[in-house]
Amino acid sequence: MTEVLNTLMVASLLGGIFCKVSQEVEPIRKY
């Protein structure tokens, strides 16, 4: 179970980072 929890934590962290990066990149793409 610990491996599954670690995977979920890593996935959530990557998801959060991806969301932040996409939000920062969106305005740049519009130009």
What would the 3-class secondary structure string for 1-31 be?
CHHHHHHHHHHHHHHHHHHHHHHHHHHHHHC
The tens digit of pLDDT for each residue in 10-27 reads 999 999 999 999 888 877
Residue 4 has pLDDT above 70, yes or no: yes
Q: What's the pTM value of the predicted model, to 2 decimals?
A: 0.58
Give the Cα separation of 4 and 16 in Å (integer).
18
The pLDDT value recorded for residue 10 is 96
Q: How many CA atoms lie within 13 A of 28 on its CB side?
A: 5
How many CA atoms, within 13 angstroms, populate the side-chain half-sphere of residue 3? 0
pLDDT of 31 higher than 70: no
